[in-house]
Chain A
Amino acid sequence: MLMREGEVRIPSGCAISGMISLDGSKQNGEDIMKSIAVMHDRSNGLGGGFAAYGIYPEFKNFYAFHVFYDSRRAKDEAENFINEHFEIASMSVMPTKTIKEITNEPMIWRYFLKPLVYKVERTQVDEDEFVFRCVMSINTKIDGAYVFSSGKDMGSFKAVGYPEDVGRFYRLDEYEGYSWTAHGRYPTNTPGWWGGAHPFSVLDTSVVHNGEISSYDANRRSIEMFGYKCTLLTDTEAIAYIVDYLVRKQGMTHEDAAHVMAAPFWSTIENMNEEEKEYYTYIRNAYASLLVTGPFSIIVGYKGGLMALNDRLKLRSMVIGQKGNKAYMASEESAIRIIEPELDKIWAPLGGEPVIFNVKGGVE
């Protein structure tokens, strides 16, 4: 019998794309769907997904949970858990559209939640950590329930299928966000499980990723020391946890985190000025186990920004484009040109060099 994602490690190749409005203006999901559709041949219909930020303004102070259920029982159990730990502001079936390209869908539900204050106080952690632990609990302890998105004013949408079909299925043309990312997957195996598609998200952080990292088990065993449980055995999951750990728990900037994951070579560090040398030596030494090697290109989405990053040898393609207040990033230039043929500039960042775009003035 074929094993499901999480029971076996499945390598995949992929396409990724992302876009952000630097002035915070919003647009619907049509462009990002167009962009990822151009790279159709980089995926094989076994996984596609999107992340969008700024899409739930009416619930922006609530954690938005997107959940897959395999069975009624799983739903009942998960909802009992949610009731015990959260105040539910709203819950509903995820709005979707039945299309012939997407089949075998699980039950998909959406909840807007606020953690119960006394519960948070009792665990002696902050709200984010409390929510993070609840998500871990549901995903590891309730068989058949899987929370695949849990941030505020953002959401991940994913399924087994080609990404452009997945976008139509989730009716992404009806959402308005200031930033979007997308992913088309080419797994070398056929898990057929929706949870295994990308993006992978934890709280506000979402990751789409193309590549297969060679440091996977070193990273996994290291991050699992800090309370994370890698249940999917995918690179994306490990990378998302690393980013969450470094930024949320260690207080790093996204740029620091990029320098940990794609640290410069010692030979490069040796030629830096004293101050830089000290910083990079420190960061490489202190966070050595979170260095990520092997080919990858990722787009990390977070509240108010996107970061694109390549492995330090740049073994995966990644192009960045900019036009006025809009920034684009994708595996291939064509995926940018299709939505913005006239760019102010376009370039391929160096390996290990993070490209970060933040909404000017931040987002509320």
Chain B
Amino acid sequence: MREFVSPQNFVPSDFEVVRNSDRCIACRVCERQCANEVHWYDSDLGKMISDETKCVNCHRCVSLCPTRALKIVKNNDTYRPSANWTGPVIDQLIRQSGTGGALLSSMGNPEKYPIYWDKMLINASQVTNPSIDPLREPMETRVFLGKKPDAIERDENGKVINNLDPQLKLDVPVMFSAMSYGAISYNAHKSLAMAAKELGTYYNTGEGGLHKDFYQYGPNTIVQVASGRFGVYKDYLEAGAAIEIKIGQGAKPGIGGHLPGQKVTVDVSQTRMIPMGSDAISPAPHHDIYSIEDLRQLVFTLKEATAYKKPVIVKVAAVHNVAAIASGIARGGADIIVIDGFRGGTGAAPTRIRDSVGIPIELALASVDQRLRDEGIRNHISLVVGGSIRNSADIVKAIALGADAVYIGTAALIALGCHQCRNCHGGKCNWGIATQRADLVKRLNPEIGAQRLVNLVTAWNNEIKEIMGGMGINSIESLRGNRLMLRGIGLTEKELEILGIKHAGE
């Protein structure tokens, strides 16, 4: 049934549910599939009805309708057009006047900011240097993350000693970024863990601890330590291949997190080590890190706790002075730094922060890599970037700008079924991903999910090889920081300067 909404609070729905009555057989699949209760069967009318105001456009019903009777279209209901007071601006204003609350959103910043990946083009060999066919010649994408030594050491017989600090070995230059159990479901976590193992890479627990069932994936797991310290204890730290200190996240730099009590089910409460049903609140800062020297202490505390056997990662959001921060982190003893761009996804963030705080990952990456080189410490730390890596070309460009590897989050969720409805904060993800409701979670089959992730990353890895071969490069380390392989298109002098690349045609 439609709820009554006072006229001042009414905002037109974003979408319209269009049902082709010639095709609809009233099987009620859509009704059962939609956790937002958009569809119902009216027995008096003898047909399916929908309330589009509740529709988030997750495409679950569209994908499952057996007669393809449904489509969701953009609602063309309009206010008087204005380039300034646009529909969404007015809608948000109306909502806030009704509730008095901050606006909440999820997933990544959808606003129209420049996407620098799309303004960079990749080189290829012609004549002076042969391209290499990846089907005929070895083409290597293996990456080691971690600090490299300053000098070679030999034993008394002159044999080279392995003096490397702990490293992470990735068979593909892609890892799955932090998404906590709580924000996403058990089955989503399981899919990521299984896929990471199969691909020879890593997934990340996020800040919600590690479910006891997943300790078996430890060698392919990065365990996160965030400001809430949920689920952090000795076994947890020891279970992972590396430990990540989360300082910030691209979608919401400078603020903490909030997992509403209704998502804190028995399992989530046990994994996070908090009472069931209680809100899980991560403070904005780590309350033991108020400065860079405090970070250094936490880095070494974690290293001590794990006998210097695991690399320590520090993750920060891409903010204005990220280059200086990164240099501080490199000197703070971290082995790997992760920079998360402002388009990075989230399970829930204040809309204003998601859409207006932080900077593009491309610019942050370019300036961090250059800064670390200028200071002569790029070898002391590996650089991983995330925050909207959408395809293999983005990865090639990221590595050519200077990244060692990338993190993917949103792309991995899309592989699992996410249709980017950006309503994860509602907790009713129809695809069984961003939800703890048992009936929804079971919609995601972890075996199938893992296979889809493996497919995606394998396809990308093959594309990366193809692109590398075209450039005459047969090993990914020769692509790293190889900015001559990139040219800008439609960029200003300043942008080119920051990216450290030339313009196309130069």
Interface residues of A (CB under 8 A from B): 9, 11-13, 188, 211-219, 221-222, 224-226, 250-252, 256, 263, 265-267, 278-279, 282-289, 291-295, 312-313, 315
Pairwise interchain contact A293-B373, C-beta atoms closer than 8 A: no
Contacting residue for A293 out of B376, B379, B472, CB 8 A: B472
CB distance from A149 to the nearest CB of B (A): 27
Contacting residue for B478 out of A226, A287, A292, CB 8 A: A292
Q: Given contacts A214-B472, A315-B130, are A285 and B478 in contact (CB under 8 A)?
A: no
Residue of B nearest to A288 (CB): B477
Q: Given contacts A217-B481, A251-B151, are A293 and B474 in contact (CB under 8 A)?
A: yes
A-B contact pairs, 7 of them (CB 8 A): A188-B128, A211-B129, A219-B478, A251-B154, A285-B164, A286-B149, A313-B132
Q: Given contacts A282-B164, A294-B472, A315-B130, are A215 and B148 in contact (CB under 8 A)?
A: no
Bitwise interface map of B from 131 to 173 toward A, beta carbon under 8 Å scored 1, else 0: 0100001101010100011011010000110101001000000
Interface residues of B (CB under 8 A from A): 125, 128-130, 132, 137-138, 140, 142, 144, 148-149, 151-152, 154, 159-160, 162, 164, 167, 373, 376, 378-379, 402, 471-475, 477-485
Pairwise interchain contact A218-B479, C-beta atoms closer than 8 A: yes
Pairwise interchain contact B160-A283, C-beta atoms closer than 8 A: yes
**Residues of chain A contacted by B373 (CB below 8 angstroms):** 221-222, 224-225
* 9 smallest beta-carbon distances between A and B, as pairs: A215-B478, A217-B484, A214-B472, A218-B482, A288-B477, A293-B478, A11-B128, A212-B129, A217-B482
**Residues of chain A contacted by B164 (CB below 8 angstroms):** 282, 285-286
Pairwise interchain contact B481-A279, C-beta atoms closer than 8 A: no
Interface of B is mostly: loop
**Residues of chain B contacted by A212 (CB below 8 angstroms):** 128-129
**Residues of chain B contacted by A283 (CB below 8 angstroms):** 160
Pairwise interchain contact A250-B477, C-beta atoms closer than 8 A: no
Pairwise interchain contact B480-A218, C-beta atoms closer than 8 A: yes
**Residues of chain A contacted by B149 (CB below 8 angstroms):** 286
**Residues of chain B contacted by A293 (CB below 8 angstroms):** 472-475, 478
Report the separation of the CA atoms of residues A316 and B152 in the bound assembly, to the nearest whole angstrom: 30
Q: Given contacts A9-B484, A221-B481, are A214 and B473 in contact (CB under 8 A)?
A: yes
Report the separation of the CA atoms of residues A325 and B100 in the bound assembly, to the nearest whole angstrom: 91
Pairwise interchain contact A217-B485, C-beta atoms closer than 8 A: yes
CB distance from A97 to the nearest CB of B (A): 34
Pairwise interchain contact B138-A265, C-beta atoms closer than 8 A: yes
Report the separation of the CA atoms of residues A263 and B480 in the bound assembly, to the nearest whole angstrom: 16
**Residues of chain B contacted by A291 (CB below 8 angstroms):** 475, 477-478
Pairwise interchain contact B128-A250, C-beta atoms closer than 8 A: no
Pairwise interchain contact A250-B379, C-beta atoms closer than 8 A: no
**Residues of chain A contacted by B480 (CB below 8 angstroms):** 218, 288-289
**Residues of chain A contacted by B142 (CB below 8 angstroms):** 266
Residue of A nearest to B149 (CB): A286
CB distance from B152 to the nearest CB of A (A): 5
Pairwise interchain contact B162-A282, C-beta atoms closer than 8 A: yes
CB distance from A249 to the nearest CB of B (A): 8
Report the separation of the CA atoms of residues A219 and B400 in the bound assembly, to the nearest whole angstrom: 12
Given contacts A224-B373, A285-B144, 17 further A-B contacts (CB under 8 A): A11-B128, A212-B128, A212-B129, A214-B473, A217-B485, A218-B478, A218-B479, A221-B481, A222-B481, A251-B152, A282-B160, A287-B148, A288-B148, A289-B480, A291-B475, A294-B473, A315-B130
